[in-house]
Structure 1
Amino acid sequence: MDERQLRVLRELGELGSVTAVAEALMVTPSAVSQQLRLLQRSVRVPLTEREGRRLVLTPAGRALAAAAIDVETALARARHAVEEFLDQPDSVVSIAAFHSAAAGLWPRLVRGLAASGAPRVALADEDVSQEDFPPLTHDYDIVLAHRLDHSPAWPKTVTATPLLHEPLDIALPAGHPLAEKDSLTPHDVADQTWITVHDGFPLMATIEAIAAAADRRLRIAHRINEFAVVSEVVAAGGGIALLPRWTARPHPAVVLRPLSGVHARRHIDALHRPEHSARKAVRTVLAELLRAAAALSSDDNRRETAQGPVGRP
């Protein structure tokens, strides 16, 4: 038995005829009869009987109809509880992010949600390959994920809110000869010692594109996923690397130069399951993430206008 069947039975007891029930529920009489037949299959005793031309409830039917009132009342309370939960502005929203997005966006997000009554965020770092980001939406309300321009789109099982379309630049020690150039090509950088992420992570596709454009194999010395560590190794002269322009923390001994000749950008998106955005708190956090992302790229653009090419001291 289900709620619809119990509702039909209750209305039959109160209204007295199948036709009246059909009018009240705005369905056809045959639909009412079908629901009664389905309900009867789940009960061992008759629930209705004929009284002349009318269909009326048996004693068992009247008992079940009375119980249906309790069922509808409980369901109404449950729906109200869900509605209150969905409209609660200060409930907890869980967010996962890969490291550079977390470093660039989370401080702004926390400050933006500092006011009383704002959603409370529970943050967790998750550094995974592209295909492993969507499954994380099972465990978190929002997942900050990244993919390159020509990588597969996110699956239809998740909703993606675009936050940033971020350039990937070549990171060099401040005194490196290539730092004198305003931009670099794959041929400029192909013979350098490289620091890259591990295989399977999104930035490796751009590394492979650089090698293909230069028609040579790159010399990879170090595999490091954490960009703060990458910057330290670059600064120490351990090699050059790809670093995101806006979300990686600036290093005083590292300069960034734009790369031409290959697609060197990544999408940073906020992934969530469609039903999660029914919560007011989740929608509020998504809006704040959009503001944080806009401010992050705007701050960098203002710095670039004031200082010249990216990363030039």
Structure 2
Amino acid sequence: MELHQLQILRELGALGSVTAVAEALRVTPSAVSQQLAALQRGVRTPLTRKQGRTLVLTAAGEVLATAGADAIDAMAAARSALDEFEHDATGPVSVSGFHSVGQALFGPLLRALAASDPSPIVHLTDEDVAQSEFPALTARYDLVLAHRMQHSAPWPVSGIRSLTLVREPLDVAVARSHPLASRDSLSPADVAGENWVTSRIGYSPDDVLRAVAAVANRPVQVHHRINDYGAVAAVVATGDAIGMLPRYTSRSVDDRDIVRLPLEGVNTLRSIDVLARPENLRRRSVRSVTEALQGVMARLSR
């Protein structure tokens, strides 16, 4: 029993003929008859009868048409509520971000939204997961800030939409006292023999180090595995190891005792993307937060 079949039954009772129903709904009389036949197959009691050359409702058909009108009205109310929800500029929006992007964007995002009128209600959460686990977070949050290395597999396209905020290089970080600190740029051969502090396996920049090792044709010595970039910078500053820091989203890190240098010869670019379910992007409040994130990231990466 489908809603459009109940609508046809109701219109038949109101308009009095299949032809009139077809004209009102802008379909063919044959299509109306087929839908009425399909509806009849789902119930045991006859819903229509012939009256001369005209098809009319039986008493059971009239009862179902009345109940169907209530169902149609309830569906219209549900659609109206959904439309209001989708167009509400102040609706709640949940945003998940990995640690470094949260440190860089959450504050400016809240300030940008506070300056807009009307402003969505935003709920922020940090979720630092491996790259492969970001898409699953879209089941829990309206917007998911995710990172993906350029050479890695793209995000899934089924049931998820992605928008790139920025393509961010990862730079090598060394202590100011390190012999490499005076260089303008570095190559894999320059850094492969150093002691490293890097992320846990499955996170960037650990995957970049594998490329460094492949290009330099020698293994990389990882002494520390730390995901927090502030802690990475603190270790680098001691001269115990070198590391990698994202160029834009780790600007809150204290650079007084470290030097950042671009790495040439391997692809160090990562995309910072917004992931979302398609239905969430229909909401005006979600789109407003997405646009604010684009503006904040554009200013940060200038």
What TM-score do you get using the length of structure 1 for normalisation?
0.92
2:253 aligns with 250
- The CA distance in 1 between the partners of 2:192 and 2:76, in whole Å, is 66
Question: Aligned partner of 1:290: which letter?
Answer: Q
Question: Aligned partner of 2:55: which letter?
Answer: L
| Superposition CA RMSD, Å | 1.2
- The CA distance in 2 between the partners of 1:78 and 1:148, in whole Å, is 42
1:170 aligns with 172
- Tell me whether 1:104 sits opposite 2:104 in the alignment: yes
Question: Aligned partner of 1:140: which letter?
Answer: Y
- The CA distance in 1 between the partners of 2:173 and 2:204, in whole Å, is 17
- The CA distance in 2 between the partners of 1:73 and 1:277, in whole Å, is 27
- Tell me whether 1:53 sits opposite 2:53 in the alignment: yes
Worse overlay, 74-83 or 38-47: 38-47
1:280 aligns with 284
Deviations 1:47-91 (A, max 9, x none): 101111111000111111112221121111111111110000011
Deviations 1:167-225 (A, max 9, x none): 11001112211111111111111111100111112322211111111111011101111
Give, in angstroms, the shift of residue 250 of structure 1. 2.8
Deviations 1:125-162 (A, max 9, x none): 11112221111111111111111111111111211111
| Equivalent runs, 1:51-200 vs 2, <5 Å | 51-115=51-115, 116-157=117-158, 158-200=160-202
- The CA distance in 1 between the partners of 2:103 and 2:203, in whole Å, is 18
- The CA distance in 2 between the partners of 1:218 and 1:175, in whole Å, is 21
- The CA distance in 2 between the partners of 1:105 and 1:254, in whole Å, is 23
- The CA distance in 2 between the partners of 1:18 and 1:100, in whole Å, is 64
Give, in angstroms, the shift of residue 22 of structure 1. 0.9
Judge conservation of contact 2:229–2:253 (CA < 8 Å) in 1: no
Judge conservation of contact 2:3–2:72 (CA < 8 Å) in 1: yes
Give, in angstroms, the shift of residue 238 of structure 1. 2.8
1:307 aligns with none
Find the residue that maps to 1:269 and give its secondary structure. Answer: strand
- The CA distance in 1 between the partners of 2:173 and 2:274, in whole Å, is 26
Worse overlay, 222-231 or 287-296: 222-231
- The CA distance in 1 between the partners of 2:93 and 2:259, in whole Å, is 36
- The CA distance in 1 between the partners of 2:224 and 2:152, in whole Å, is 24
Deviations 1:79-110 (A, max 9, x none): 11111100000111111111111111111111
Question: Aligned partner of 1:289: which letter?
Answer: L
- The CA distance in 2 between the partners of 1:94 and 1:140, in whole Å, is 5
188, 208, 211: which one aligns with 2:210: 208
Question: Aligned partner of 1:265: which letter?
Answer: L
Give, in angstroms, the shift of residue 236 of structure 1. 2.5
258, 264, 271: which one aligns with 2:268: 264
- The CA distance in 2 between the partners of 1:273 and 1:238, in whole Å, is 44
- The CA distance in 2 between the partners of 1:48 and 1:143, in whole Å, is 53
Question: Aligned partner of 1:165: which letter?
Answer: R
Find the residue that maps to 1:246 and give its secondary structure. Answer: coil
What TM-score do you get using the length of structure 2 for normalisation?
0.96
- The CA distance in 2 between the partners of 1:227 and 1:272, in whole Å, is 26
Runs of 4+ in structure 1 displaced over 3 angstroms? none
Worse overlay, 112-121 or 256-265: 112-121
Structure 1: 5+ residue stretches without partners: 299-313
Question: Aligned partner of 2:298: which letter?
Answer: A
- The CA distance in 1 between the partners of 2:40 and 2:206, in whole Å, is 62
Question: Aligned partner of 1:219: which letter?
Answer: Q
Identity %: 50
Question: Aligned partner of 2:162: which letter?
Answer: A
Deviations 1:24-45 (A, max 9, x none): 1111112111111121122221
| Equivalent runs, 1:218-237 vs 2, <5 Å | 218-237=220-239
Question: Aligned partner of 1:260: which letter?
Answer: E
1:304 aligns with none
Worse overlay, 16-25 or 231-240: 231-240
